[in-house]
Amino acid sequence: MNNKVINDFRKMIDVNTPIICIQDYDFARIDELIEIVVGPKNVYEWNPATGRTDFKNKGSKEYEPLDAFLDFYVTEEPFKPIDKYLVLKDVQDYVNEQTSETGYLDPMKTKIKSQLQLIAQRKLYDRSYSTTVIIVSSYIHLPQELDKYASYLDISFPTDDEIKQLIDLHVKVNEYKNYNGSDTEKLLPSLKGLTCFEIDRMLDMAMSSNGTLTAEDQRMILQHKKQMVKKSGLLELVDTPASLGSIGGMDALKSYLQRKEKVIKNLGEAMSKGVAVPKGIFIVGMPGCGKSLCAKASAALFNTPLLKMDMGSMMGKYVGESEGNLRRAIQIAEAAAPCVLWIDEIEKAFSGVGGNNDIMTRMFGYFLSWMQDKTSSVYVIATANNADNLPPELKRKGRFDEIFCVNLPNAEERKAIFEVHLKKKKKGNLKLSDKLIKDTDGFNGADIEAVVNEAMEEVFIDEKKDLNIDVLETIASQTISISKSCKKQIDSMKKVFEESSFKDATSGQITKSK
């Protein structure tokens, strides 16, 4: 078990935290952690399957319901302050906040909530009483009355050394005679972000598929990770047919990504030579100028899955649910690593931070500290149109490796974008005129794509022989570009870019003019 987790847990115990929540279902690993930190003595377990259970040998006698189990500790006479720990496993159906939509509140759950509240209060105010509640469940969202007594312990995933130990143990137990030791390094990145329990399962599955364990099993592991993402419902797995070649312009951003590719594809080696794990980039820019395209092309370039996170869908209606969702989504991304995590329209999620929205401020804090401490190979690409109201912490170094700003394409870039879209229509050898490029000043990539699409349609409807430059010029002259239709917003975005220190996606220069 990772030292940071052990220390965090110990600190929570030392500062007299009444309720400690651990969102995890790898019970064997959590038992190990509890034993390391508080020892096996005076630890009392309850779970829905066996009721009161011996923490050490997992034996149980007659089934005792949770309220009866808790009753004992609520009413316990204070005699001498012995530290006791109540480990409640898999109790989400008993302790999570109840909805009152139907107007019905389960009296048993209400009783359990009051019992936990009483234990927490006695722990805080009665010097001769020291019972700590440890809730271990895959999904916890406590009612507000309990949440104020609770701290949440983040369980990080097994470290590289722990994963290596698990592989070694697996090879030894299964007596793989021909196992090639160098395959461990190759398997390691794909096993990162999984719990010990999941790693064991993966290794078992790998073995049952071909009777042994080799680097080839990586593919099967990554496939399984993709399924995990789908099942979670918190992240969307996006197809990545785009490549860097399908982006016109943005040369500086494209060459930056190409350089990162070398690190990401050889992460183990890069890290052993002192290279830091890449955190990711923040792309701020005009609408329809290819920010999403860049996120998709990056995942294709790095040959990793692309997971899209929609901050809006993280918001839940129960206390702590939104934070729990964000934490879970990040865990899933880590489990799917190596991957690109694309956070679209990040400004919509975090622009209100610091105001009255406590939930958002807490989620933002969690996100920032995760970005700051991140050691997993989750490459984050955040995209935003409006950089005006973003909290400054997000733009500070240490969170993202770089902040790029995408402006409306210049003449050369417009030509490149036309070429990309004409090539897609198999009209790549059409010669573009200076007039067309000049007349499309103020167009974004989406406008240019629309001109090409419309021109193709016109050729078909009017049964013209083939697409020619006159058709493109005529349609372009009739198109109302983004700069005209949204003049005010575009002008104000340009101003923000000029006043901020972003790296220009085209030239690589810093945008701030003064």
Q: Are 51 and 65 in contact (CB under 8 A)?
A: yes
In angstroms, what is the minimal distance from the CB of 506 to ligand ATP? 10
Q: Cβ neighbours of residue 122 under 8 Å, at least 6 residues apart?
A: 74, 129, 131
In angstroms, what is the minimal distance from the CB of 504 to ligand ATP? 14
Based on the shown chain and the rule CB under 6 A, indicate whether residue 289 belongs to the binding site for ligand ATP. Answer: yes
> Segment contacting ligand ATP (CB under 6 A): 110-118, 143-151, 357-365, 444-452?
444-452
By C-beta, is 289 or 363 nearer to ligand ATP? 289
| Nearest C-alpha neighbor of 263 from the set 255, 252, 271 | 271
| Nearest C-alpha neighbor of 236 from the set 167, 155, 310, 128 | 310
* Sole binder of ligand ATP in the list 166, 293, 332, 476 (CB under 6 A): 293
Q: Which residue is at the shortest CB distance from ligand ATP?
A: 445
Based on the shown chain and the rule CB under 6 A, indicate whether residue 193 belongs to the binding site for ligand ATP. Answer: no
Binding mask 349-388 for ligand ATP (x = CB under 6 A): ------------------------------------x---
* Sole binder of ligand ATP in the list 158, 189, 193, 248 (CB under 6 A): 248
By C-beta, is 267 or 293 nearer to ligand ATP? 293
Based on the shown chain and the rule CB under 6 A, indicate whether residue 249 belongs to the binding site for ligand ATP. Answer: yes
Q: Are 87 and 55 in contact (CB under 8 A)?
A: yes
Tokens standing for 225? 């990770």
In angstroms, what is the minimal distance from the CB of 295 to ligand ATP? 8
* Sole binder of ligand ATP in the list 292, 410, 489, 500 (CB under 6 A): 292
Rounded to a whole number of angstroms, the distance between the first and last alpha carbons of the chain is 51
Based on the shown chain and the rule CB under 6 A, indicate whether residue 288 belongs to the binding site for ligand ATP. Answer: yes
235-238 and 306-309 strand pairing: antiparallel
Based on the shown chain and the rule CB under 6 A, indicate whether residue 445 belongs to the binding site for ligand ATP. Answer: yes
| Nearest C-alpha neighbor of 417 from the set 393, 387, 440 | 440
In angstroms, what is the minimal distance from the CB of 157 to ligand ATP? 31
Based on the shown chain and the rule CB under 6 A, indicate whether residue 18 belongs to the binding site for ligand ATP. Answer: no
Buried b (16+ CB within 10 A) or exposed e, 90-125: bbbebbbbeeeeeeeeeeebeebbebbbebbebbee
Based on the shown chain and the rule CB under 6 A, indicate whether residue 297 belongs to the binding site for ligand ATP. Answer: no
By C-beta, is 85 or 342 nearer to ligand ATP? 342
Buried b (16+ CB within 10 A) or exposed e, 238-260: bebebebebbbbbbbbbebbeeb
Contact positions vs ligand ATP (CB under 6 A) = 247-250, 285, 287-293, 385, 417, 420, 445-446, 449
